């Protein structure tokens, strides 16, 4: 009798522990998290350009578009680790694209028990799945071999690595950067016949994601549970990584058609001789040495790749609607960082210009139709995504203490304006270069201390292309001092 009583109370304790592991509120929403790779704000919703990205336009119309969202490191590996951990790069220890098993867990053993965004949802009782690149993955490189890259296995109940053909696709690869032939960081493009678009990495990833959605939807069909002998549906978090427009620019012919080479415009280069060489480390003549024709071809390839990626977003959203999942699924679209196409005579990423650190972020929550089509003008950081999704799904009481982002859920469901004093903090070069965005000002420092000639201050309201450096202006000395102080304070928190 005594033993039976002990076992009874032990069972109660175990069951109590299990119940706290699944802390789901009533009717929790699903989450579809879509990553694009190397995507700047050169998309329809941000440019008011019709026809370029119609599916992202439609998604923005059914959600909230963040006008000033910033990554924490303009490079795939550190940015994705930051987003998924909810921590700044200096905190999680991922400061490059090095391959570390377990991503930030491998870089910082102190975070071994810190769940990723998806891992947190899994702990709360969500079914979590990954398709293709969410944490860092070699594109090209590992993806042709179906590798998992720097994935965090504890994040997922189910994970799929897409074995995409990339430069092995049928067609002719055009190397556009003659002095930089490495396809993972060069400029190259390939036009694939429309009849073979289904062979492409992002098309394959989207098809697999749709199959997962169909599997989850089948669990909600009346009577299906007993017939198929599967348990009732848990809510799901499905993360889908689309690798375009990451180089090489590979897309079907129909995506290239709207962007003929001769119509592509190369931005006017503006070089400030008072800024350090580090500010222009990605200059064309320094690395890629593209001719003007090759620069136009690169811009065409980038836009074609964006268009192909947009088509896959359309397929995913259409699948939600077809499967009657759209009314209870939050859709998030985000890029890991921006991308330059000749601005400041600079190309690609890993620098701190506005076009590299600012990213598109759209959150569409079907439960708040009164906010659909709205824009959020305040500053947001991508580390905000972790606590924001948790709060939208009613899980905010269980968040890890370490998170450094700020939940933006009130912006989504009530249109509450974000804090006007909020700043965005971004680093590169392993933290030796840093950027602060606050209000209309952008402060960049290329060095660990402020010195003559290694810092810049721009007023983006008056100078959106960042041509006029105000750091040497006596009229802006107080603002410069404040931005220096904010940067020092932010660095001290990491």
In order, the DSSP letters of 115-173 are --HHHHHHHTT-EEEEEE-SS---TTTGGGGT--TT--GGG-SEEE-----GGGSSS-E
Residue 155, in any domain of the structure: yes
Give the per-residue pLDDT at 320: 98
Residue 120: domain span: 29-413
Residue 429, in any domain of the structure: no
Residue 392, in any domain of the structure: yes
Residue 462, in any domain of the structure: no
Please tell me the distance from the alpha carbon of residue 198 to that of residue 184, in angstroms, as a whole number: 22
Give the per-residue pLDDT at 21: 46
Task: Indicate if the pLDDT at residue 390 is higher than 60.
Answer: yes
Residue 15, in any domain of the structure: no
Please tell me the distance from the alpha carbon of residue 276 to that of residue 91, in angstroms, as a whole number: 28
User: What's the mean pLDDT in 252-275?
Assistant: 93
Question: Which pLDDT tens digit goes with each residue over 70-120?
Answer: 999 999 999 999 999 999 999 999 999 876 666 788 888 899 999 999 999
Count how many domains the chain has.
1
Task: Indicate if the pLDDT at residue 5 is higher than 60.
Answer: no
Percent of the chain with pLDDT over 70: 91
pLDDT band at 24 (very low <50, low <70, confident <90, very high): confident
Please tell me the distance from the alpha carbon of residue 382 to that of residue 359, in angstroms, as a whole number: 9
Three-state SS string over 37-77 comes to CCCCCCCHHHHCCCCCCHHHHHHHHCCEEEEEEECCCCCHH
Please tell me the distance from the alpha carbon of residue 342 to that of residue 420, in angstroms, as a whole number: 31
Question: Which pLDDT tens digit goes with each residue over 288-317?
Answer: 999 999 999 999 999 999 999 999 999 999
How far, CA to CA in Å, does 104 sit from each of 156, 243, 317, 428?
A: 16, 21, 31, 17
Residue 24, in any domain of the structure: no
Element (H, E) at 309: helix 292-322
Q: Specify the CATH number for the domain of residue 346.
A: 3.40.720.10
Please tell me the distance from the alpha carbon of residue 40 to that of residue 128, in angstroms, as a whole number: 27
Residue 188, in any domain of the structure: yes
Give the per-residue pLDDT at 141: 83
Mean pLDDT of the chain: 90
Among the listed residues 405, 371, 391, the one whose alpha carbon sits nearest the alpha carbon of residue 70:
405
Residue 66, in any domain of the structure: yes
Higher pLDDT, 133 or 232: 133
Please tell me the distance from the alpha carbon of residue 423 to that of residue 452, in angstroms, as a whole number: 24
pTM of the model: 0.92
């Amino acid at each position: 009798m005594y033993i039976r009583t002990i076992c009874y109370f032990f069972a109660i304790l175990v069951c109590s522990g299990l119940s706290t592991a699944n802390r789901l509120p009533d009717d929790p929403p699903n989450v579809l998290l879509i990553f694009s790779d190397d995507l700047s704000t050169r998309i329809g919703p941000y440019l008011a350009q019709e026809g370029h990205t119609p599916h992202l336009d439609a998604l923005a119309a059914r959600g909230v578009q963040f006008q000033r969202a910033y990554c924490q490191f303009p490079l795939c590996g550190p940015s994705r680790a930051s987003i998924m951990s909810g921590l700044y790069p200096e905190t999680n220890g991922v400061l490059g694209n090095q391959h570390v098993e377990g991503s930030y867990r491998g870089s910082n053993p102190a975070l071994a028990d810190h769940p990723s965004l998806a891992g947190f949802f899994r702990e709360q009782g969500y079914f979590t799945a990954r398709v293709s690149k969410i944490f860092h993955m070699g594109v090209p490189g590992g993806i042709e071999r179906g590798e998992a890259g720097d994935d965090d296995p504890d994040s997922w109940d189910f994970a799929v690595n897409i074995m995409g053909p990339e430069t092995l696709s049928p067609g002719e690869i055009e190397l556009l950067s003659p002095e930089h032939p490495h396809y993972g960081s060069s400029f190259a493009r390939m036009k694939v016949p429309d009849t073979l678009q289904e062979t492409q990495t992002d098309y394959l990833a989207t098809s697999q994601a749709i199959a997962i959605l169909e599997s989850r939807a089948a669990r909600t069909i009346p009577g299906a549970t007993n017939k198929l002998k599967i348990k009732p549906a848990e809510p799901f978090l499905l993360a889908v990584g689309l690798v375009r427009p990451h180089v090489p620019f590979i897309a079907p012919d129909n995506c290239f058609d709207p962007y003929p080479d001769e119509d592509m415009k190369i931005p006017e280069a503006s070089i400030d001789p008072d800024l350090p060489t580090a500010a222009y480390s990605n200059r064309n003549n320094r690395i890629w040495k593209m001719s003007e024709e090759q620069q136009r071809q690169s811009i065409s390839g980038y836009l074609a790749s964006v268009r192909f990626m947009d088509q896959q977003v359309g397929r995913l959203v259409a699948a939600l609607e077809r499967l009657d999942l759209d009314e209870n699924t939050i859709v998030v679209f985000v890029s890991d960082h921006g991308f330059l196409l000749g601005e400041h005579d600079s190309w690609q990423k890993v620098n701190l210009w506005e076009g590299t650190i600012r990213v598109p972020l759209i959150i569409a929550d079907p439960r708040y139709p009164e906010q659909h089509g709205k824009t959020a003008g305040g500053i947001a950081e991508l580390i905000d995504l972790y606590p924001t999704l948790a709060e939208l799904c009613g899980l905010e009481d269980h968040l890890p203490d370490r998170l450094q982002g700020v939940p933006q859920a009130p912006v989504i469901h009530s249109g509450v304006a974000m804090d006007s004093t909020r700043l965005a903090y971004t680093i590169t070069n392993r933290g030796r270069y840093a950027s602060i965005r606050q209000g209309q000002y952008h402060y960049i420092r290329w060095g660990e201390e402020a010195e003559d000639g290694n810092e810049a201050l721009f007023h983006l309201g008056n100078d959106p292309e960042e041509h006029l450096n105000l750091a040497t202006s006596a009229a802006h000395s107080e603002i410069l001092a404040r931005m220096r102080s904010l940067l020092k304070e932010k660095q001290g928190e990491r």
